[in-house]
Amino acid sequence: MQYRISHTTKYSYAEPASVCHNLVHLAPANFPRQAVHEYRLTVQPSPPTIVNRRDYFNNRVDYFSVTEPHQGLTITATSRVDVSAPTPIEENPPWEQVAAQFRPGSPRILSVLQFAFKSRHIPILEQLQQYAKISFTKNRPIFDAARELTKRIRTDFKYDSTATSIHTPLAEAFAGRHGVCQDFAHVAIGCLRSLGIPARYVSGYLRTIPPPGKPRLVGADASHAWFSVYCGDKTGWVDLDPTNDLVCSTDHVTAAWGRDFEDVTPIQGVVIGGGSHIMSVSVDVEPLESAVL
């Protein structure tokens, strides 16, 4: 599938701001089953320069500053991306076998090991471990268990954009059984890490227009989030979407991954002045035969 993606964020300030500094994770990722053909970031008012680099997780990060007085800011990222379906599961070992690779004293893959520990927004919680153990029974294949966990989160939790914010603790979101895609991904990751299984947070997008006869996916009008579980050295990372109870495929466009939401926040910034502000976000993921930006 080829997509044209447009992601626009607008800030309106009550008073003029004198300066702002911004760091954004808006560029889609390049990896074996996803190819980025074009990417463009535009900002109004136009900054003197926009520079980019790779962060610790190899995600593209763009940085810019607006140093003139301004009463609003518009950031638009536009890209064209090809997404292929994931390859079939090559190996599906018992989950204990995968977890054992990352215990102290065992041979470890450092790039994977870093996703086995707690992070700022995903602590190791006893209640998450108990919830996970319902699916992760003795010697159960890891993908089968993770797939069931995904389905249970979709069934047990209610999507409610008013129930939580980015500051809501994971324990509170889990107890309330309400939240958004970010919360559901954090719950799943917390469950997996509580068992010693590496899991990472993934940000990205969903196709806006569903295939004929298929329902519209939750989260298609904004940036979306899901999780990856490490299923062993042969299979590697497998992406699962607990908000929609899906194995991620060509409907999902990956932007970045990290330990939790904070590592891949779409836009982070500091503004001096401006008073109160209003933010609006518009996302369009358009399936294409061919596209020109």
Write down the pLDDT at residue 116: 95
Tell me how far apart the alpha carbons of residues 239 and 268 are, in angstroms, rounded to a whole number.
25
10-residue stretch averages of pLDDT, the chain, 293 residues long: 94 94 97 96 96 96 95 96 94 96 76 94 97 98 98 97 92 96 98 98 89 74 92 95 96 97 95 90 84 46
Write down the pLDDT at residue 274: 87
Residue with tokens 């900054």: 47
Write down the pLDDT at residue 219: 63
Note whether 36 and 57 are within 8 A (CB).
Answer: no
For residue 220, the SS3 value is: coil
Write down the pLDDT at residue 290: 46
Tell me how far apart the alpha carbons of residues 223 and 25 are, in angstroms, rounded to a whole number.
11
Tell me how far apart the alpha carbons of residues 200 and 223 are, in angstroms, rounded to a whole number.
17
Taking the model in full, what pTM does it have?
0.93
Note whether 126 and 197 are within 8 A (CB).
Answer: no
**3-state DSSP helix/strand/coil % of the chain, to nearest 5:** 20, 40, 40
Tokens of 41: 């970031």
* Long-range own/partner contacts, residues 160-169 (CB < 8 A, 24 or more apart): 166/261
Q: What are phi and psi of 70, to 5 degrees?
A: -150, 150
Q: Note the Cα 110 to chain centre separation in Å.
A: 21
Tell me how far apart the alpha carbons of residues 53 and 55 are, in angstroms, rounded to a whole number.
7
Write down the pLDDT at residue 209: 75
